[in-house]
A and B are shown apart, each in its own frame.
Chain A
Amino acid sequence: MANHSCSKESLTSVLQRKADRQAANVPKGPLVARREFVSSGSGTVGFTLAAAISPGLSAGILSQPQSEIPVPELSLPIVDTNVYLSSWPFRLLPEAEPARLVEKLRAYRVVQAWAGNFDALLHRDLAAVNTRLVRSCRATGGFLLPFPAINPKLPNWQEDLRQVVEEFAAPGIRLHPDYHGYSLDDADFIELLGQAAEHRLIVQLALMAEDERTVHPAVKVPSVDPKPLVDIIPGIRGLRCVLLNAQRVTPLPLLAKIVASGTVYVDISWQEGVGGVANLLSYVPAERVIFGSYFPRFYFLSAVLKLLESAISGEALANIIHKNALSLLEQR
């Protein structure tokens, strides 16, 4: 049985050790050859993101010979709260293999990643899906934290939840209302939120898996309306919720209302528009914004470059890329 050490001291020190090890010994691959690390010195935050990446791009991409295109990266350890194992149902992703996924995440200084399983979108035997997820995560020695899926429209979903709590000791669950076909005012969904809160599980609510314009014609995935959350969340005591892939269906003013309605965080994977993360921060405080890449469905670097594009730095940067996620875990 997995036992996730989430006490404040142990988690922080473990992550720091991981970050130190990675800085000293980074896997070398085609994409990371010639990468130059910019140390954050004492580990404090500040202008490290822009300072680390922007000069690299300017001096590197623009003037260096072709073999030396640098890949930007953060100089602080990252906790990525939105990754998936297995394969996207409609395309084989190179990183569907867990070892390859982990290798690439580590190369980008990710020290911990919260993982769901793409199989949960269409498979109905979620117990099997979740068991595979947990097994794969355990094999990474705690690098991947499992967020098993629950579908409240399946019979006896309570047994899946029991398994998550008692057998998997997972820190949370990941829900897919679009592929599982329920609205956010659905009574079973609300019941699930309540039970998850009672068990002190983090609830990751993935509002979309794919832009509705590009879905495979053989599937009809309804868009999820997030508005009911504004009224539902305040009524569930102890609920801690992370909205993933939210922005396409959640305008920023509505997102601000949802976040303000309880202990709600939002990831940056689907934040679009130029300077998008800065726009997000004009509606949602940095204490509630969390790093998520949606890798390997999305290119991992997208989320990192968004932080650079918006010139996020200092405490806001640290909050987004790891502190908020760690704080969420520590609240368990």
Chain B
Amino acid sequence: MDFEIWDAHVHLSGVPGATPEERLGRLLEFADRLGIRRVCVFMGLRWSYDPSPEEFRRQNDEVLRAIAAFPHRAFGFVYLNPKHTTASLEEIERCVVEGPMVGIKLWVAERCHSPLLDPIVARAVELQLPILQHTYLKATGNLPGESTPQDLAELARRHPRACFIAAHSGAQWEVGIRAFKPHRNIHAELCGFDPTNGVTEMAVRELGAERVIFGSDAGGRSFASQLAKVLDADISPHAKELILGGNLKRILAPSLARKGFG
């Protein structure tokens, strides 16, 4: 069986480069040193919490440029703002249906239990696209539009046929994993918080390895610290394979098949 590490969560940040493709090229150099074969990329060179349609189109254009330069290494997720429903649905058509992207990314513009997300989720179900939703539970206070794990649980309950990837697992992962457990359509993603010992073991114990996904949040985070969460976890080799790539391959399979990826 061939096995590859697929990273579910990479941004065009943290490395120098004037263009999206330059930055992705640099990121892949670091990924290569750790044996990471594929990366999912979303959001552009400059971010904003609440992007206008023009802004998220620009950012998606930058990701399209980046992944076009590395078609065998990088997949794109389309970045949307649920406050702009029509523009977001149009962006799915442009970047996914007519373009090469294979998933949806939602960040902090709107808390994800909002009904504003429903049309986007419904379209994702039709297209069998995963939705990677930022989730964080901050002791210092969340941003106004920042989703908690509980918010995602509510959304997942409303849309049982949708497939969600819970980015960061809420960061306070003991809470996040508990919130996700009843909803089998939520996958806990491990990136974007410190490499705290025990997170992967708890996620596997509570959710099963089939519902845990490796991501790095590079370049803001190092590939290294995030990969250690899986490689150093006291779980079976089979569980590691699922987390490091097997699960993401399975989730992306419909999209990849449509787009002719082998």
**A-side interface residues toward B, CB under 8 Å?**
30-31, 50, 54, 57-58, 60-69, 71-72, 91, 93-95, 210-217, 270-276, 295-302, 304-306, 308-309, 311
Query: In whole Å, how far is B123's beta carbon from the nearest beta carbon of chain A?
Result: 32
> Which residue of chain A is the closest to B201 with respect to CB atoms?
A94
Docked CA distance A212–B194 (Å): 11
Q: Is the CB of A72 within 8 A of B3?
A: no
Q: List 18 A-B contacts (CB under 8 A).
A: A54-B34, A58-B35, A62-B37, A65-B1, A68-B237, A94-B198, A211-B193, A212-B140, A213-B140, A213-B171, A215-B139, A217-B139, A299-B229, A304-B228, A305-B34, A305-B225, A305-B228, A309-B34
Q: Is the CB of A272 within 8 A of B222?
A: yes
The verdict on B14 contacting chain A, using a C-beta distance below 8 Å, is yes
Which B219-257 residues have C-beta < 8 A from chain A? 219-225, 227-229, 231-234, 236-238, 240-241, 244
Q: Is the CB of A301 within 8 A of B136?
A: no
Query: In whole Å, how far is A116's beta carbon from the nearest beta carbon of chain B?
Result: 16
Interface string of B88-110 (1 = CB under 8 A from A): 00000000000000000000000
Q: Is the CB of A61 within 8 A of B3?
A: yes
The answer, among A71, A273, A275, A302, for a CB contact under 8 Å with B195, is A302
Docked CA distance A135–B221 (Å): 38
Interface string of B1-45 (1 = CB under 8 A from A): 111110000000011000000000001001001110100000000
Query: In whole Å, how far is B11's beta carbon from the nearest beta carbon of chain A?
Result: 10
Q: Which B residues are in CB contact (< 8 Å) with A66? A: 1, 3, 237-238, 241
Q: Which B residues are in CB contact (< 8 Å) with A298? A: 194-197, 225, 228
Docked CA distance A61–B15 (Å): 26
> Which residue of chain A is the closest to B15 with respect to CB atoms?
A274
Query: In whole Å, how far is A244's beta carbon from the nearest beta carbon of chain B?
Result: 14
Q: Which A residues are in CB contact (< 8 Å) with B227? A: 305
The verdict on B138 contacting chain A, using a C-beta distance below 8 Å, is yes
Q: Is the CB of B234 within 8 A of A69?
A: no
Q: Is the CB of A299 within 8 A of B195?
A: yes
Query: In whole Å, how far is A73's beta carbon from the nearest beta carbon of chain B?
Result: 11
> Which residue of chain A is the closest to B1 with respect to CB atoms?
A65
The answer, among B14, B233, B241, for a CB contact under 8 Å with A273, is B14
Q: Which 9 A-B pairs have the closest CB atoms?
A: A57-B35, A305-B224, A274-B219, A302-B228, A301-B232, A299-B232, A301-B228, A302-B195, A309-B224
Given A71-B232, A305-B224, A306-B225 in contact, is the A57-B219 Cβ separation under 8 Å? no
The verdict on B218 contacting chain A, using a C-beta distance below 8 Å, is yes
The verdict on B172 contacting chain A, using a C-beta distance below 8 Å, is yes
Q: Is the CB of A214 within 8 A of B240?
A: no
Q: Is the CB of A30 within 8 A of B232?
A: no
Given A31-B234, A61-B5 in contact, is the A91-B37 Cβ separation under 8 Å? no
The verdict on B206 contacting chain A, using a C-beta distance below 8 Å, is no
Docked CA distance A211–B194 (Å): 8
Docked CA distance A30–B220 (Å): 31
Q: Is the CB of B232 within 8 A of A309?
A: no
Docked CA distance A67–B1 (Å): 11
Docked CA distance A218–B54 (Å): 43
> Which residue of chain A is the closest to B174 with respect to CB atoms?
A91
Query: In whole Å, how far is B130's beta carbon from the nearest beta carbon of chain A?
Result: 23
Q: Which A residues are in CB contact (< 8 Å) with B138? A: 213-214
Q: Is the CB of A273 within 8 A of B221?
A: yes
Docked CA distance A8–B226 (Å): 37
Given A57-B34, A66-B1, A305-B34 in contact, is the A274-B197 Cβ separation under 8 Å? no
Q: Which B residues are in CB contact (< 8 Å) with A216? A: 139
Q: Is the CB of B35 within 8 A of A212?
A: no
Q: Which A residues are in CB contact (< 8 Å) with B237? A: 66-69
Q: Is the CB of B193 within 8 A of A301?
A: no
The answer, among B137, B140, B222, for a CB contact under 8 Å with A306, is B222
Q: Which A residues are in CB contact (< 8 Å) with B171? A: 211, 213-214
Q: Is the CB of A301 within 8 A of B231?
A: yes
Q: Is the CB of B228 within 8 A of A212?
A: no
Query: In whole Å, how far is A26's beta carbon from the nearest beta carbon of chain B?
Result: 16
Q: Which B residues are in CB contact (< 8 Å) with A304? A: 228
> Which residue of chain A is the closest to B240 with respect to CB atoms?
A69
